[in-house]
Amino acid sequence: MTSELLSGNESVARGAWEAGARVGVGYPGTPSTQALEVFARMDDVYAEWAPNEKVALEVAAGVSMGGARSLVTMKHVGVNVAADPLLTLAYTGVGGGLVVFVADDPGMHSSQNEQDSRNWGPFARIPVLEPSDSAEALAFTRAAFELSERFDTPVLVRATTRISHSKGVVELDGERVVPESGDYVKDACKWVMMPAMARARRLAVDARVAALSSFAEECVFNRAELRDPSVGIVTSGVCYEYVREALPDASVFKVGLSFPLPAEALARFADSVERLAVVEEAEEYLLGGLLRLGLAVDRIDLPGTGELSPALIARALGAEAAPVRDRVEGLPPRPPLMCPGCPHRGAYHALRKAKAIVTGDIGCYTLGALAPLASMDSCVCMGAGVGMAHGMRLAGVGDDRPVVAVIGDSTFAHSGLPALANLAYNGSDATVCILDNRITAMTGHQENPVSGCTLQGRPTVEMDLEGVCRAMGVKRVRTLDPHAIDDAIAAVREEVAAKELSVIIFRAPCALLIREKEQPYAVDEDTCTACGVCISIGCPAISRLEDGRARIDITLCVGCADCVKVCRFSAIDLTGPACDIGGV
Amino acid sequence: MADPTTTVMLAGVGGQGTILAADVLAKTARAAGFDVKLSEVHGMAQRGGSVDTVVRFGDRVHAPITDHGHADHLVAFEVTEAARQLPFLKPGGRLLVNSRVIDPMPVLIGDLPRTDGVEEALVEEGVVFIDAEELACEAGSPRSANIVLLGALSTGLPFPRGVWAGVIERRVPPATVEANLRAFDLGRRACGEEGECLL
Ligand SMILES: Cc1ncc(C[n+]2csc(CCOP(=O)(O)OP(=O)(O)O)c2C)c(N)n1
């Protein structure tokens, strides 16, 4: 038997592969992304990035209707996008097993909210499995395919950051077994959800939940561990491991199938302990379930947001805190930042020059909201910026300062397309900037419809962004290189002045995709006037000396020359023997 | 009850190679026969933010993360990050710090001053400073500073050098294996078992 150290994401991929999933489809999103990336590299599978989570789930629905097994992956907010098909696939049920892997992000390491995906269980009435470590991520994902077919339902496998991005020892003894997929048989009562058919399927959903509820009582993924009866803790996911660490003697009910909950097993557990408590992150999902079962729960004092930890749990149940060293006070925070050479920098510089109000979006370019660029005014969810620019104009904003939306290429393909169609259709005069760096950068460089390459490395068409915008009826469409700073400033000035909708496509590859660095630059300290313009573009290679003059760290500079172009005193020049001055 | 699990925290700045170092450490612990868990941060923070990675090993490891006052070793790839994560280090724990400062954006642009006295505060906590970049250059690969720090850490961990070397060989790009092994040994020589600086 071989064992390996695998992350939760890698284990999910392996579980799906062992279960014979033939297709994997998803949209990237931290902390879920590697699950599909790893699956895509396995033998004998097909995998693709969809432009968004709704499309991903719909592709999988087709695979399922066609009789084969498929894995769908996304982060927690992705389920909002996929909710429309999900809540009706709960009615149709499946053909081949359909498993949706969703990774939540309590504490919001890389997310805009903290929603708890377990709630989709009771809302959609579909089973939810919650692994506690990598080994369970493999086993639960594998079993999810069986459950999906046995109970004729999509199944959600829910992880959190500390499952997805933690590694643990996993035994790899499972073989891949691909079930025969039957021929497609037309069945309108199952797959055509018109009202008459949907009403019948709605009853099938209830029957399925009842069957799942009795299955939950015997499901091996739920387990009562009876130790010291003075306290019994109901918990799930990574919190189970925290509880075991913090309180090794406590009795624990480990919930593995979080919907539907095993009512009788939980009641028996409650009876066998003197005090019943719940430990969970994000929302009070388990607590609500226990209260609905009429069990008396002792509310313990745990934070309602952010991540838990063994010490937090131990303290909430009365343990003393370990001695801790003093903090070093006054440390500067270290927010994430745009890389040296990032093409987004030039676009933001131009927008700032135009004093634009910028309705933004999600991606690396969201970092333009932070100092010193501080040039983005909103970020809500993927695709939101384009509609919001239109809305700001409707509210009467923008007669003295222009309203501009920014959106990345991946985000534009994800949900910017219908938003832009709306602006064209309804005659908005806003300006939309597509920051096209050819890739989905924030989540670690996943291919997307503009990249010209698929997840499994096949060359493919590149979406013609200019053509798409024109086809929607946008008359003013122009494309430029954001590193051409003066052109960018001029273009933004012209387009915001136009009394109609315009799109500027800023196109230059992500700096991390460029392997060969250009020669670094240096600041001539005699010419530098300490005006601060180069500092204001927020390049991590440039710092402000005590006297206000600038200095370039040549180990970080990639030679993009954006700073050279914004300097009005020609104080920045190539390094080298002739101009080896100032820079360090 | 003595905690039978050993906890190592690797702290640094996104892009410094903490994730690779943690992976090598975890695989070495596994190859030496321990149960292991590792937790790392991907996503936003990797773009130049603070990143901390935790590796824990023992007979049976439960939590992949740790708490203030519970890490046996804190290996910081950068001075400010050492100070930021210091509360995680147990009293009596081992503190190894790369003597390099990377200013965060608020300092680069002059919005906030560099904090005074950080090095001194670390000295009071019993730090061993290691010039990992310089040793990495000496080893022949400037990018091997993370492996230098693992070498320094290794003197306080119960894994034979050969197990480390086997994992490093499999984990780094083939062309850089020799430089990385040299980097590991230079780090090892820089730090005695008691955590004293030998250079
Ligand atoms: C619904 C949803 N899915 C996924 C994500 C994760 N995510 C945030 S931004 C982003 C894409 C960024 O790519 P792009 O728009 O090309 O900008 P870049 O990072 O390349 O600048 C993704 C996948 C999310 N926040 N919301």
Domain boundaries, given as residue ranges, for chain B: 6-104+117-190
Ligand 1 pocket test: which of A72, A109, A410 has the largest number of ligand atoms within 8 Å of its C-beta? A410
Say yes or no: ipTM exceeds 0.85. yes
**In a shared domain, residues A509 and A533:** no
Closest-lying ligand 1 atom to the alpha carbon of residue A28:
23
Has residue A75 been placed in a domain?
yes
Q: Which of A172, A188, A218 corresponds to the end of one domain?
A: A218
Closest partner CB to A241 (pick from B40, B63, B109): B63
pLDDT digits (tens, 9 = 90+) for A164-188: 999 999 999 899 999 988 789 999 9
Has residue A581 been placed in a domain?
no
**In a shared domain, residues A496 and A549:** no
Has residue A321 been placed in a domain?
no
With cut-offs at 50, 70 and 90, classify the pLDDT of residue B199. low
Distance from CA of B122 to the nearest CA of A (A): 9
**In a shared domain, residues A244 and A210:** no
In this structure, what token pair is assigned to residue A469? 């915008």
Cα gap A104→A8, rounded to integer Å? 13
3-state secondary structure of A341: coil
Confidence at residue A579, expressed as pLDDT on a 0 to 100 scale: 40
Q: Which of A462, A485, A513 corresponds to the end of one domain?
A: A513
Cβ of residue B62 closer than 8 Å to a chain A Cβ? yes
Q: Separation of B84 CA from ligand 1 center, angstroms?
A: 29
- Based on its alpha-carbon atoms, the radius of gyration of chain B, rounded to whole angstroms, reads 16
Longest Cα–Cα distance of chain B, Å, equals 49
Q: Which domain holds residue A308?
A: 223-316
- The total domain count for chain A is 4
Residues lining ligand 1, judged by CB closer than 6 Å? A 27-29, 53, 75, 77-78, 81, 362-365, 382, 408-411, 437, 439-443
Q: The CATH number of the domain where A546 resides is what?
A: 3.30.70.20
Tell which of B6, B28, B34, B37 to mutate to test the A interface (max A CBs under 10 Å). B37
Q: The CATH number of the domain where A187 resides is what?
A: 3.40.50.970
pLDDT digits (tens, 9 = 90+) for B89-134: 999 999 999 999 999 999 999 999 998 999 999 999 999 999 999 9
**In a shared domain, residues A20 and A129:** yes
**In a shared domain, residues A263 and A406:** no
Q: Which of A177, A193, A218 corresponds to the end of one domain?
A: A218
**In a shared domain, residues A286 and A381:** no
| DSSP element (H, E) containing A494 | helix A485-497
Cβ of residue B125 closer than 8 Å to a chain A Cβ? yes
Confidence at residue B196, expressed as pLDDT on a 0 to 100 scale: 55
- Residues A26 and A12 sit within 8 Å (Cβ to Cβ): no
**In a shared domain, residues A196 and A270:** no
Confidence at residue A580, expressed as pLDDT on a 0 to 100 scale: 42
**In a shared domain, residues A354 and A480:** yes
Has residue A208 been placed in a domain?
yes
**In a shared domain, residues A396 and A449:** yes
Cβ of residue B143 closer than 8 Å to a chain A Cβ? no
B6-104+117-190: CATH topology = Pyruvate-ferredoxin Oxidoreductase; domain 3 (3.40.920)
Q: Separation of A332 CA from ligand 1 center, angstroms?
A: 28
Residues 213-242, chain A: which have Cβ within 8 Å of B?
A: 238, 241-242
**In a shared domain, residues A207 and A253:** no
Nearest CA in chain A to B119: A328
Query: Do residue A31 and residue B121 have CB atoms under 8 angstroms apart?
Result: no
Has residue A183 been placed in a domain?
yes
Residue holding tokens 């745990």?
Answer: A302
With cut-offs at 50, 70 and 90, classify the pLDDT of residue B2. low
Cis omega before residue A260 (within 30°)? yes
Closest-lying ligand 1 atom to the alpha carbon of residue A409:
16
Cα gap A520→A559, rounded to integer Å? 5
Give the residue ranges of chain A where pLDDT is below 70. 1, 576-584
Confidence at residue A156, expressed as pLDDT on a 0 to 100 scale: 98
Query: Do residue A31 and residue B44 have CB atoms under 8 angstroms apart?
Result: no
Q: Which residues of B111-126 are buried (b: 16+ CB within 10 A; e: fewer)?
A: ebeebeebbebbeebe
In one letter, which amino acid is A150?
R
Percent of chain B with pLDDT over 90: 85
Has residue A583 been placed in a domain?
no
Cα gap A261→A257, rounded to integer Å? 7
Closest-lying ligand 1 atom to the alpha carbon of residue A408:
15
- Based on its alpha-carbon atoms, the radius of gyration of chain A, rounded to whole angstroms, reads 27
> For B117-123, which contacts have Cβ atoms below 8 Å and span 24 or more sequence positions?
B118/A328, B118/A331, B118/B79, B118/B80, B118/B82, B118/B83, B119/B79, B121/A328, B121/B83, B121/B86, B122/B79, B122/B82, B122/B83, B122/B86, B122/B95, B122/B97
**In a shared domain, residues A7 and A104:** yes
Confidence at residue A473, expressed as pLDDT on a 0 to 100 scale: 98
Put simply, whether the predicted model's pTM sits higher than 0.90 gets the answer yes
Tell me which residue has its CA closest to atom 21 in ligand 1: A364
Please choose, from the candidates A447, A456, A508, A457, the residue with its C-alpha nearest in 3D space to the C-alpha of residue A480: A508
